Structure 1
Amino acid sequence: MADTTGRMIRIGNASGFYGDRFAAVREMLDGGELDYLTGDYLAELTMLILGRDRMKDPKSGYAKTFLRQMEDCLGLAIDKGVRIVANAGGLNPHGLAIALRELADSLGVDAAIAFVDGDDLTDRAADLGLGNPLTANAYLGGFGIKAALDAGADVVVTGRVTDASLTVGPAASEFGWGYEDLDALAGAVVAGHIIECGAQATGGNYSFFTELPRMGHLGFPIAEVGSDGSSVITKHPGTGGAVTVGTVTAQLLYEVGGPRYLGPDVTTRLDTITLTQEADDRVRVSGVCGEAPPATTKVSLNHLAGVRNEITLILTGLDIEAKAELFREQFTAALPTQPAEMDWDLSRLDRTDATTEEQASALLRCVVRDPDAKKVGRPFSAAAVELALASYPGFTMTAPPGNGAPYGVFEPGYVAAEVVDHRVALPSGVVERIAPSPLRGDPSVDAEEPSAQLPPDWGPTASLPLGTLAGARSGDKGGNANIGVWVRDPAHFAWLDHTLDVDLLKELLPEVAELTVRRYRLPNLNAVNFVIEGVLGRGVAENVRFDPQAKGMGEWLRSRPVPIPVAFTQQSQEDQ
C-alpha cells in the first residue's frame, strides 16, 4: 500500500553521461544530506561503444569510470547511509556487480550489492524480429531496482533501464508504490527526467546562462521526492549555477516528443506538470498525471555498419567554390576504388576582406563509409596526401588523415513487454523476476495542434532574434531531433504559440525544410516542442551533420530573426 504520510526522500544525481565530471560523486556525498545517489552512464552511442568493447573482451561492457568512482567513494557512501543506484552495468551488470564485490572486499567495506538485468535481447534478437544487431537492449522500468532496495541493497547496478527509472525505483521502494499508483510514478518519472542529465538542470546548456550566478563549476541536481510523487528540485548549498523554473523547463523539454511520455511503468503526461519557484534554488514540481504504460517495450538496437574515414581541408581567400570543385574532381579521380558512400560539405566560414587568415578561410570536409575497411583506409588517406602539391593554391588540411574507424547505426525496436525477462539478483544471491505492469495497453496518440487562427493585436513589431524572448533546448533521439522552445513570461505564450508553427520553423531552419516536422503544444510549460524526423540520419555514430546530436540546433533557431511585439521587448527590459 502506498505511503501517504507526506514523507520526503532526497535523490541526487552525479552523472549525466559516460564521461561526466568524475569528482561529482564525492562532491554530492560531501556536499549535504542525501538518501540516494544515482548515476546515468548510458546513451544510444554509449551502448555501441560498450558493444565494441565486449567484442574485444567478453568480461567488459560496463562503465569502468563508475568502478573507479566507487573505489574512491563506496566507503563514504556506506558511512553516510547513502544508497547508490546506477545504470553503469551497461551490457554486463553481472560483471560490474562482481567487480564491485571484489572492490568492497579489498576496501574492507560491508556493502550489499545487487544488479538488474534481462534487458539484453541480443541472443534472441533474430527470433524477436529485431534482425542481427551488435546490441539489443530493452528499456526496463524501476521495479527491479525497487525489489533490490526492498531487499536491503546498498548499491544497485543495472543494464539498460530508462534514465528516469533510476529515480522511480528508490521512490517506489521508499513509499511502497505499486503499478497502480500511476500519478505518483509519473511524478517520479518527471523528477528523474529533470535530474538525469546532471548539471543541465542547474544551468548547464541553458539559453539564458548569462543571467545565472557562478557558472564556473555547476552543482549537480537533487530531487526531494514526496510520497505522492511531487518533488522539489534543488542542489547542495554553495554550489554553482542555479535551479529555476527556466532551468527545469529547459531540461523537461530535452529529448521528448508529444505530451505523452511513454515508459515501461507509466505513461507520463508532460502537459500536466506545474512548476513553481518556491525559493532560491528550489522549484516545486506538482500536478503530474499518469496513464497506463504501453503494451510494448522499446529496444535500443545498434548495428555495426562498416568503417568511416574523413578529411577536412582549409580553403583560403578567393575562388573558394572553384578551389573546392578542383579538389573534389582530383580526389575522386585519384581514389583506386570508390567507397559505398561519399559525402562532401563546404562550410563557408570565410569573410570578404578578412583581417585574419582564419576569417578568410572555409572548410571542405569529405566523409566516406564502406563495409570494406580497405576502401576507406590507407588508399583514401594516400589519395589526399598525394594531392598536397598538385591541387588548389594554399592546400592544407586540419589534421593528417588516418585509417578510419568502425561506425554503427542506431534504430529503435519494439517487443511485447511480456517477452522481456526483467530480473534482479538480490544481495542474497536470489534471482527474482519482475513482471511487467498488468495495466499496460494501447496509449492514446498525441495529436499535433495547429496555432490559433485569429491572433490578438500585439501592436507594432520589430525583427529581432527569437531568443530575445524565447529559450530553447534541443537534442537527439536516434535519427530524429527535438527542439523545445519556451517563453518565461506566460503573457508571451499566446504569441509564441501563434507565431512559431511548422512553416516558420522550416523557413528559419532551411536544413529541415524538406523533412517531416511535428509540433506539440505544452501550454503548462509555456512551450512548444518540435520533432524533426530523419535530420540525424541513422544516429550520431553514422551521420555527418555539422552538429551530429542536434545539441546546438535550438540555439541556431534562437538566433534567427522573427517579428516580435515591441511592447514585449520593452516590458522585458523594464523587468531586468
Structure 2
Amino acid sequence: MIRIGNASGFYGDRASAWQEMLDGGELDVLTGDYLAELTMLILGRDLMKDPSTGYAKTFLRQLEGILETALAKGTRIVTNAGGLNPEGLATAIGKLGNVKVAHVTGDRVEDPTALTANAYLGAFGIAECLGAGADIVVTGRVTDASLVVGPAIAHYSWTRDDLDALAGATVAGHILECGAQATGGNFAFFTELPDGGRRPGFPLAEVRPDGSAVITKHPGTGGAVTVETVTAQLLYEIGTPQYLGPDVVAHFDTIRLSQEGPDRVLVAGVTGSPPPPTLKVGANRLGGFRNTMTFVLCGLQIEEKAALVRAQLEDAIGADGLEFVLARTDHPDAAEEQAASALLAVHLKSPDQRRAGRTFSQAAVELALASYPGLTLTAPPGDATPFGVFSHHLVPQEAVDHVAVLPDGTRRRIPPPPRTAETLSRQTPAGSRGPSTTRAPFGTRFGARSGDKGGDANLGVWARDADGWEWLRGFGADELRELLPETRDLTVERYELPNLRAVNFVIRGILGQGVAASTRFDPQGKALGEWLRSRMVDLP
C-alpha cells in the first residue's frame, strides 16, 4: 500500500494544509494541485511581466516552512505548481537546501495566437522522476489525477498494460485533486457533517497494488469521508462516463464504493481501457478588456428604470460590447430598503482599454443626478481589466515531447502509449419515472455538484436511496431545462452512472468563452447544482 495525500486543490487553497497533512499522520507522498484553466491565464500574464516567474509562488513560500519536516519524515512531494515554468520553480526549490528536485516538461505547445497553450501530460514522467530518487517532483500542465497516478506507478512498477490499475489510481486522483471537496467541503448535505462543515480536513488515498484505494483523512480532522462525500467529488467536472486521460480511459460506470469504517471509503472495481491517440491542449488568448458597473434600482417601476439606464449608456458610449443583466432581488411592499431593491449589472467588453475603462465607468457615474429616482451605484468607477478566452483542441500524443528531468539533470523522454483506441460515448435517455407523491424542493432527496469545463458546465446529481434513484432515472434533459430556464436553448447531454445512483448532465456553452471571459453571475457554474436543488418538484 502507498499512502498519498493532498494539500492543495487550487491556487489559493488553505495555506496551512501542507503542515497539517505532514503533522497529521504518516504519508509516503503529499501532492498539491494548483492549476485550473483560469490559473494558467494568470500565470501567463505573470510570465509576460517577468520571464523568471510563471509558477505558483505561494507553493514556494509554503515549502519553505515544511521542507525540513517532509525530508525528515521521508514524505515525497509531487505538485503541478510549476505551471508555465516548472524548470524555474525546480531551480528555486533547489536553493532552499539539500534536496533532490526533478521536474517534468514538454507540455507547452507552440501557438503564436495564444498567451498559453499546454497539453495535458500523463503520469509516467512523474513516475520516472520518483524512480530516480527525487524528493520533490515539479510539473507543468499534467492531468490533475496524474499527481496521484505517478507515485502509484513508481511504487508498484506498473506498466502501460496495467490498465485497470491505472484506471483505479486515476479515480483516486480525481477524488483527491480538489482537496477538501472529498471530505465534506462544498457538500450538499453539509449540515449533517459532524462539525457542520466548519473546517474539513484534507483527503488521502491508500492505493493498493490493483489500483483500488481507500479514501480517508487524518484522525481528528474535520469533515467526513463517506460514500456520499466521495460520490459528490466523483461527479465534479466530469463529462461522459468514459473519463479520458493520456494514460488510460477510466470507466466511471464501473466504480464501486463501500463504507469500510468511519471516514474510510473503498473505491474498487474500476475498469480501464487504452487511452485515446490524442492529448487535450488548453489554450488561453487575450480577449480584450472588461469592466462592470452595478446600479441599485429600488421600489417601483424596476423594468422602466433599467430601460432608462440602458438607453442613457448606449447613447453615451455606444451599444457595442454592452451587456445588461437585471437581477430581480426586490420584494413587493418590503419592510427594508435592501429587500425592495433590484440590481442592474452593466458589463462592457471591448478591445479598446480606454473605452472599457474610465470612459465607461465615468459615463455611469455621470448619471447620478440625471437618471431614475433613487440611483445608487455599488462601487466607485474603476479601470478596465484584461480578460482571457479559453479554448481547447487535440494533438497527436506523439507530437508532444514529454520529458522527465531527473535530479542529476539527465533528461529522459517519455514515449507515448504504444496502444491507443478511440472511445465512443452514448448518452443515456431518461426512462420511466417512479411515482411522485410529495411537492418539495429537489434537494430534499438529491445531492448535486457542478463545475466548469471551459465554456461548458457539468451538473452531477445523485440519489440518496433506491426510491430516489428509481425516480431520478426518469429525470431527463427536458425536465432539467424546465427547472433551469437559463439552459433552455442550450445543448444538454445526459449520462447515467447507476453504480453511483447518479446522473451527470453536461450543459454546453452556458459559460460562454470560459470563466475568465464570462459575465455570468456564477461564472464557473459552481452553484448550478444548488439552484437545481432549490426548485420545487413532485418527488417520491
Structures share fold, TM-score greater than 0.5: yes
One-letter code of the match for 2:174? H
1:280 aligns with 2:280: no
One-letter code of the match for 1:59? S
- Among 209, 229, 239, the alignment partner of 2:211 is 229
- Among 329, 334, 358, the alignment partner of 1:378 is 358
One-letter code of the match for 1:473? R
- The residue aligned with 2:454 is 478
One-letter code of the match for 2:178? C
- The residue aligned with 2:15 is 22
What TM-score comes out, normalization by structure 2 length? 0.99
- The residue aligned with 1:308 is 290
Gaps of 5+ in 1: 1-7, 105-109, 127-131, 566-576
CA separation in 2, counterparts of 1:81 and 1:489? 43
Deviation at residue 340 of structure 1 after TM alignment: 4.0
- The residue aligned with 2:348 is 368
Contact 1:339 1:370 in 2 (8 A): no
Q: CA RMSD in A?
A: 1.0
Deviation at residue 412 of structure 1 after TM alignment: 0.9
- The residue aligned with 1:464 is 440
One-letter code of the match for 2:107? D
One-letter code of the match for 1:464? A
- The residue aligned with 1:107 is none
Which segment is superposed worse, 489-498 or 540-549? 489-498
Deviation at residue 477 of structure 1 after TM alignment: 0.2
Contact 2:297 2:344 in 1 (8 A): yes
Contact 2:446 2:468 in 1 (8 A): no
CA separation in 2, counterparts of 1:59 and 1:288? 42
CA separation in 1, counterparts of 2:319 and 2:47? 28
CA separation in 2, counterparts of 1:263 and 1:142? 10
Contact 2:215 2:267 in 1 (8 A): yes
Secondary structure at the residue paired with 1:377?
helix
- Among 213, 227, 239, the alignment partner of 1:257 is 239
CA-to-aligned-CA distance 1:138-178 (integer Å, 9 cap, x gap): 00000000000000000000000000000000000000001
- Among 159, 163, 171, the alignment partner of 1:182 is 163
One-letter code of the match for 1:143? F
Contact 2:354 2:384 in 1 (8 A): no
Q: Which runs of 4+ in 1 moved over 6 A?
A: none
CA separation in 2, counterparts of 1:362 and 1:159? 44
1:322 aligns with 2:298: no
- Among 92, 108, 132, the alignment partner of 1:151 is 132
- The residue aligned with 2:390 is 410
Deviation at residue 419 of structure 1 after TM alignment: 0.5
CA separation in 1, counterparts of 2:96 and 2:326? 51
Deviation at residue 339 of structure 1 after TM alignment: 6.5
Equivalent residues, number: 539
1:92 aligns with 2:85: yes
Contact 1:339 1:368 in 2 (8 A): no
Contact 1:194 1:201 in 2 (8 A): yes
CA-to-aligned-CA distance 1:27-68 (integer Å, 9 cap, x gap): 000011111000000000000000011111111100001000
- Among 47, 68, 77, the alignment partner of 2:40 is 47
One-letter code of the match for 1:544? T
CA separation in 1, counterparts of 2:184 and 2:277? 36
- The residue aligned with 2:332 is 352
One-letter code of the match for 1:35? D
One-letter code of the match for 2:67? L
Percent identity among equivalent residues?
61
Deviation at residue 11 of structure 1 after TM alignment: 0.3
Contact 1:292 1:441 in 2 (8 A): yes
Contact 1:339 1:375 in 2 (8 A): no
- The residue aligned with 2:185 is 204
1:442 aligns with 2:422: yes
Contact 1:259 1:520 in 2 (8 A): yes
CA-to-aligned-CA distance 1:61-101 (integer Å, 9 cap, x gap): 00001000111001110001000000000000000000000
Deviation at residue 563 of structure 1 after TM alignment: 1.1
One-letter code of the match for 2:396? A
- The residue aligned with 2:505 is 530
CA separation in 1, counterparts of 2:199 and 2:191? 14
Contact 1:275 1:286 in 2 (8 A): yes
- Among 488, 494, 498, the alignment partner of 2:464 is 488
Contact 1:304 1:407 in 2 (8 A): yes
CA-to-aligned-CA distance 1:546-571 (integer Å, 9 cap, x gap): 11000000010011111112xxxxxx
Contact 2:145 2:171 in 1 (8 A): yes
Secondary structure at the residue paired with 1:310?
strand
Contact 2:477 2:494 in 1 (8 A): yes
